[in-house]
Amino acid sequence: MSNITIGRYDADEAKSLETGRGFSAWIEGTDDNGAGWVFWLDETGRPIVYFGSREASGAVLEPRVHLVEPPAEQVCGD
């Protein structure tokens, strides 16, 4: 593992994210081979969605892994 970043969205960013989940923070990393991954965290700091692949632009690639069952009205783009 070559790099890990932990960040927090401000309140306005968290409400306006494209996914509609209201994520409060993220943990992202880059493996030694350059492959990226990301966890998105809820307002309590709990990881709730994991994407194991990312493009160089930062876009996430399927499949996603829901670490907790999302509410029916907030299924993260499903």
Say yes or no to pLDDT of 74 above 80: no
**pLDDT (tens digit per residue) in 4-32:** 999 988 776 665 555 555 678 999 998 88
- 57 or 11, higher pLDDT: 57
In SS3 terms, 11-68 reads as: HHHHHHCCCCCCCCEEEEEECCCCCEEEEEECCCCCEEEEEEEECCCCCEEEEEEECC
- For the chain, the structural domain boundaries read 3-56
pTM of this prediction?
0.69
- Mean model confidence pLDDT for the chain: 77
- 77 or 11, higher pLDDT: 11
What single-letter amino acid sits at 2? S
Say yes or no to pLDDT of 76 above 80: no
Q: Which band of pLDDT confidence, cut at 50, 70 and 90, is reported for residue 64?
A: confident
- From residue 23, how far is each of 15, 31, 38, 54, 64 by CA, in Å? 8, 23, 12, 18, 15
Residue reference for tokens 């992202």: 28
